[in-house]
Chain A
Amino acid sequence: MITYLSNNSETVLAALRQHIWLALLPVLLGFAIALPIGYLGVRFPRFYHPLVNVAGVLYSIPSLALFVFLPVVLGTKILSPINIVVALTIYTVALLARTVADGLRSVDRLITESATAMGYRRFRRLIDVELPVALPVILAGLRVATVANISLVSVGALIGVGGLGQLFTRGFQLFYLEPILVGVILSVLLAGVADLAIVLIQRAVTPWTRFQGGRA
């Protein structure tokens, strides 16, 4: 495996780099899109159930089907990485829109009411009070979405763009175990590192959660 790595370091590093941005760019895009959608599900309660249902349906579309289907809709080339990014963004939105809505709904009414009574306008109340209080729930969803994306990128290898997944297809084509092992190990490591990074960010931005549940 070491020999394989040293002989193919450039290929492996390029695959890893591609894997990282193919997985993480959709997380950022998806999060940015999910925030307003999730908020709408709370602001207008009758949108909540449709939102949950649509998100569920979207998430249940098989990834390979979406990768193949998107070029038809978007007019992109079948080998374009845009297909992967869009597909994973859709999954991220499906996952996070509901998480954002649930997170915001979990904020105690007493807290939002006292914020209103102190003179917060709706938008600033959302930014200063509701989102920060909902952050532990939202970040938990973000962890799930990030790890899921990192594993889904590999599927893209079947249509030619798939980061570390390309190491799997190559290994299968050449009946050669090393690239497959390297690909698996690096995917798992990447998922672990990304997960840990979000946990550390969560600790840093929500120090108050450490005291919750001690004294009510």
Chain B
Amino acid sequence: MITFDDVVKVYPGGGTAVDHVSLEVPTGKTTVFVGPSGCGKTTSLRMINRMISPTSGRVLIDGEDVAGQDEALLRRGIGYVIQHAGLFPHRTVLDNVATVPVLLGKTRREARAAALGLLERVGLAPEFAQRYPAQLSGGQQQRVGVARALAADPPIMLMDEPFSAVDPVVREGLHREFLRLQKDLGKTIAMVTHDIDEAIKLGDLVVIFRQGGIVAQIGTPQELLSDPADEFVAEFVGRDRGLRSLSFDTAAELPVKPVPAELVVDEAGRPLGWRTGADDVRPTGGTFTSADTLRLVADLAILSPVGIAVRVDADGKADGITPHHDLADYLAARRG
């Protein structure tokens, strides 16, 4: 666990970057620091590995003040991923990944062998190993950056806007892989982003900073969306937060009605479409299972030609329907 204990950072010349911040980054979870530029989120992140020293207050890792620890040794035990990856241009991909193990005293050979495995882990084919960073795309460089941070298997990872330098499609892919990796690895991650959607998607816990280095709210993504602490947070998490908060609940308890005759199914019971006229069958626009989110159900009901979302079982057989007014009633009842 990383603990910020009443941390203040004032720069000479007057600016307060971080203003009496106290918070906890729980072990094995992803905590995202988010806020507008100049809100102190990056400064806070960098105080964890002593890239920046607090003016007052303490930063502790598992109860131990980082200020008392050797800077270089501390940093070798903390993975660091930076925007644009910050790879070493003069080293191959493999040697970039092997950097920290070599610093820790492993032979280059051992470190390279381990690095090869890590490349696979982050979804890079082995033929990238001998290339130089300049030969990679932005998304590939970012993967190498993540592999490099993971190389010494540090319990803690710091990620400073790790996905902001790539285009939205690539970012989407990196997000998926990040979540998959983190599910396997369970690192203690502190991440900085200015993108609230990224924070909500990736964070177990989200810390919203406001101008002047003040923490506006700390909570799970769901808490922030459903119960913003003030106007600033409500504004920051966005206007469609009601709809987005549906992403956190599954359709497991959503009541369904029996499949009506208007739903055309094949011989295995899989839905083909809605009969809207004598020879007019229109596609359902998709189906949901009880494991899908309520947001998907709402989306399907809106897109459906008849305003009805279709549920299927594990085999793809239609086993119930939810008209959009049933979904509305369910949400209203749940709130009450």
Contact = CB atoms under 8 A, between A and B. Distances in A.
A and B are interacting partners: yes
A191 B307 CA distance: 83
A114 interface: yes
Given A118-B100, A214-B135, A110 B90 contact: no
Contacts of B137: 215
Interface in B79-93: 80, 82-91
A139 B75 CA distance: 32
A208 interface: yes
B128 interface: no
B289 to A, nearest CB: 42
Contacts of B73: 119
Name the residue among B80, B86, B88, B90 with the largest chain A CB count within 10 angstroms: B90
Given A110-B82, A117-B49, A121-B72, A133 B88 contact: yes
Contact of A119 (B89, B100, B132): B100
B76 A119 contact: yes
Contacts of B136: 215
Interface in A121-145: 121, 124, 129, 132-133, 135
B135 A215 contact: yes
Contact of B134 (A111, A124, A215): A215
A212 B132 CA distance: 9
Contact of A211 (B51, B74, B82, B132): B132
Contacts of A110: 82-84, 86
Interface of B: 49, 51, 72-77, 80, 82-91, 99-100, 103, 132, 134-137, 148, 158
Give 8 closest A-B pairs by Cβ, nearest first.
A114-B86, A119-B76, A119-B75, A117-B80, A211-B134, A208-B132, A110-B86, A132-B90
19 contacts: A110-B83, A110-B84, A111-B88, A111-B89, A113-B51, A114-B80, A114-B85, A117-B49, A117-B75, A118-B103, A119-B74, A119-B76, A124-B103, A133-B90, A208-B89, A208-B91, A212-B89, A214-B134, A215-B137
Given A110-B84, A212-B134, 10 more contacts: A110-B82, A113-B86, A114-B87, A118-B75, A119-B76, A119-B100, A120-B72, A135-B90, A206-B90, A208-B90
